[in-house]
Chain A
Amino acid sequence: MIRHLLSGADLDADTATEILDTAAEMATVAGREIKKLPALRGRTVVNLFYEDSTRTRISFEAAAKRLSADVINFSAKGSSVTKGESLKDTALTLQAMGADAVVVRHPASGAPHRLANWVDGSVVNAGDGTHEHPTQALLDAYTMRARLGRLAGLSVAVVGDVLHSRVARSNVLLLSTLGAKVTLVGPPTLIPVDIAAALAPGTDVSYDLDSVLPNVDVVMMLRVQRERMSDSYFPSAREYARRYGLDGPRMRRLPEHAIVMHPGPMNRGMEITPEVADSPRSTIVEQVTNGVSVRMAVLYLLLGGNNR
């Protein structure tokens, strides 16, 4: 088993499938009266969050707690980071406190990779800059498999702000490993040149959402990340919504069985309309539920045994 989870590329098909299968067993715990397993008793998981997050941090916290681990939440606000402490010194402090795993979110791409060299415990990337977010890709894959019964051969459109999206990068890597075909869709300004070839051969790029929709099993909408945009990548929010937003008429052009996903948080009215977000095709709430099971599986497989 792998020691860290830093990138969707860390996982081969067997390991990824093992995580998804384990997550399916973990999911049964959520239906029990006692939602607790003793597997990580006495282990310490630190949530190290340098960026704001609701669902990912809470999801990791719930996952660790359901496995009986001790959880320490660290957010950069209100910590020594505001006094200028470096990531390395913070890491060494956590190390000295005996953290068995560090779940890290950081605005700088690559920060979890650096961290993995400084601490003895396992490092889980919970989103680094515009780079990767592998547990999101795993929970997306889990959701697709749960809804559609398979991953191999699925056609998945990832739509929107690919340039700034760590969710898109991790999903392309993981989904292509698991045999799905990904098409990146968005305005040319938000799709980096050559990204498809650089991430995974066989990935397509399209600038026309309407021509892609009738042929996909899954459409994954990405949030337009205003906080990462210093330039104007498109003329106006209205024009973006017109060309790349998923609304009712566009949704009805999808095949009967197709599902609509969104990693959250949504900009309702921008990349997705409330009609679509709240429709039965939308898996947005399931994705959150599945996130806990998938993160339980990841923490168990990284920390459950003696993998040193």
Chain B
Amino acid sequence: MAYPPAARSSPPRQPSVKVILASADVQRVVDRIAHQILEKTQGAADTVLLGIPTRGAPLARRLASRISAFEDIAVPVGVLDITLYRDDLRRHATRAIGPTELPSGGIDGKRVVLVDDVLFSGRTVRAALDALNDVGRPASVQLAVLVDRGHRELPIRADYVGKNIPTSLAESVKVTLAETDGADEVKLYGGTP
């Protein structure tokens, strides 16, 4: 029986997908970062969590709710939109800007913890530091990320890392969260295995 030629030749290479963190893992990781923030900031006094859109914002809110569940402390949460501070604005079609919502107490003199989903080149964090500079003067700034995938292009490191994932530049890391995408998951999309 003759098969069509396409069926006999090797199938086209599918990009491989690997789940790095499943839903329960994401929750555990968030819990751990919340504990680490409490430990490293001596009880999260004078601390403000600022999420970087899109997925940093719900992560920051989750961290705050975990911190309040563990120690009954209300940590102010905000959102810091960095669109206008990006260094690649000119390279793309105009990006829509999102809201920046600072906690009512402001950030002057506070310890600000920036929260993002993936740390990669470090350029987003640089933009966030510039944006922060224009909205106030924090006493100090720390960085919490769910995933650090390496390949930094700037001298930036995270203070709290949920999961280090060694990657190649051909791969991409995709974080989905229940609030924005319907489910918690971290996936690694391969180039070629």
Q: Which residues of A approach B to under 8 Å, CB–CB?
A: 1, 18, 21-22, 25, 28, 32-34, 36-39, 300-302, 304-307
A7 to B1, CA, bound (A): 67
A-contacting residues of B (Cβ < 8 Å)?
81, 84-85, 89-100, 130, 134-136
Assess A304 versus B130: contact at CB under 8 Å? Given A37-B84, A38-B84. no
> Which of A32, A33, A34, A304 is within 8 Å of B95, CB to CB?
A304
A21: which B residues are within 8 A, CB to CB?
96
Give me 20 other A-B pairs in contact (C-beta within 8 A), A25-B99, A37-B134 excluded.
Answer: A21-B96, A22-B96, A25-B97, A34-B134, A34-B135, A37-B85, A38-B84, A38-B85, A39-B89, A300-B94, A300-B97, A301-B94, A304-B89, A304-B95, A305-B89, A305-B94, A305-B95, A306-B90, A306-B92, A306-B93
Query: A32-B135, A37-B134 are contacts. A25–B95 as well, Cβ < 8 Å?
Result: no
Question: Are B90 and A305 in contact, CB atoms less than 8 angstroms apart?
Answer: yes
* Alpha-carbon separation in the docked complex, A301 to B93 (Å): 9
17 contacts between A and B (CB under 8 A): A21-B96, A22-B96, A25-B100, A32-B134, A33-B136, A34-B134, A37-B85, A39-B89, A300-B97, A301-B94, A304-B84, A305-B89, A305-B90, A305-B92, A305-B93, A305-B94, A306-B92
A308 → chain B closest CB, angstroms: 10
Decide: A36 and B89 in contact? CB cutoff 8 A: no
In the complex the two chains form, what is the Cα distance from A21 to B96 in whole Å?
Answer: 9
A37 to B81, CA, bound (A): 12
Q: A36-B134, A37-B84, A38-B84 are in contact. Are A22 and B93 (CB under 8 A)?
A: no
Consensus secondary structure, chain A interface: loop
List 10 A-B pairs, minimum CB-CB distance, nearest first.
A305-B94, A39-B84, A304-B94, A305-B93, A37-B84, A34-B134, A25-B97, A1-B94, A301-B94, A305-B92
A18 to B95, CA, bound (A): 11
**With A38-B85, A306-B90 in contact, do A22 and B97 touch (Cβ < 8 Å)?**
yes
Which single residue of chain B is at the shortest CB-CB distance from A308? Answer: B93
Q: How far is the CA of A33 from the CA of B132 in the complex (A)?
A: 12
A138 to B165 alpha-carbon distance, docked (Å): 47
The winner among A18, A38, A300 for most chain B CB atoms within 10 A is: A38
A21 to B97, CA, bound (A): 9
Contact across chains for B134 and A18 when beta carbons are under 8 A apart? no
Chain B residues whose C-beta falls within 8 Å of the C-beta of A301 in the assembled complex = 94
* B100 adjacent to A1 (CB under 8 Å): no
Interfacial chain B residues near A306, Cβ < 8 Å: 90-93
Collect the chain A residues with CB atoms within 8 Å of residue B100's CB. Answer: 25, 28
A239 to chain B, nearest CB (A): 49
Question: CA A153 – CA B91 in complex, angstroms?
Answer: 39
In the complex the two chains form, what is the Cα distance from A304 to B134 in whole Å? 19
CB distance from B84 to the nearest CB of A (A): 4
Q: In whole angstroms, what is the CA distance A38 to B136 when docked?
A: 16
Chain A residues contacting B130 (CB-CB under 8 Å) are 38
Q: Tell me the minimal C-beta distance from A224 to chain B in angstroms.
A: 39
Q: Which residues of chain B are near A25, meaning CB under 8 Å?
A: 81, 97-100
A34 to B131, CA, bound (A): 11
Considering only CB atoms, which chain B residue lies closest to A18 in the complex? B96
Q: How far is the CB of B137 from chain A (nearest CB, A)?
A: 9
| A-chain residues with CB within 8 Å of residue B97 when the two chains form the complex | 22, 25, 300
Complex CA gap A38/B85 in Å reads: 6
**What's the Cα separation between A248 and B193 when bound, in Å?**
78
